[in-house]
Amino acid sequence: MAVNIDQAILHIIISTIIIGPVLWLAGRALVGKQKAKFTDGLWIAALGTIIGEILGYFFISGIIVSIVMVIIWLALIKKFFDCGWLKALLVAIVAIIVFMVIAFILLLIGFAAFRAYLPFTP
């Protein structure tokens, strides 16, 4: 099985850029700005993505790998944001909600921009 290193590196970079700030915002809101640094959010996103890439290479995607990845992501949040397991779970849930809200707002902006370039039809 061949590994496309360029694609894996691009996936890690994009995931870090997108997920890191969202994790930082959720962590800052729930554990405070003293414990949730911006670089911590970036490290969580980068390490979580790297570990996910490695597990995805060695194992066929399945329920067990998915459960292991959830535990790894929660452990990374717990370690970097210096909080308990339940707080880490709450940070992860809030990060997902924040991500969905941001994605929805960007979707609406994209639709509005697309509509602005269409010819006017009454």
Supply 58's token pair: 């060695």
Domain ranges of the chain: 5-117
44: nearest Cα among 103, 102, 92, 93: 92
Q: What is the pLDDT of residues 12-40, one digit of tens each?
A: 999 999 999 999 999 999 998 898 999 99
Q: How confident is the model at residue 122 (pLDDT cuts 50, 70, 90)?
A: low
Supply 98's token pair: 């924040």
Supply 122's token pair: 């009454």
The average confidence (pLDDT) of the chain is: 90
Number of neighbours of residue 38 by Cβ within 10 angstroms: 15
Could you give the CA distance from residue 45 to residue 68 in angstroms, rounded to a whole number?
Answer: 16
Q: What is the pLDDT of residues 80-105, one digit of tens each?
A: 999 999 999 999 999 999 999 999 99
Q: What is the pLDDT of residues 39-58, one digit of tens each?
A: 999 999 999 999 998 888 88
Number of neighbours of residue 68 by Cβ within 10 angstroms: 15
27: nearest Cα among 77, 86, 72, 70: 77
Rg of the chain over all Cα atoms, to the nearest angstrom: 18
Q: Which residue has the higher pLDDT, 119 or 32?
A: 32
* Cα atoms in the Cβ-side hemisphere of radius 13 Å centred on 6: 0
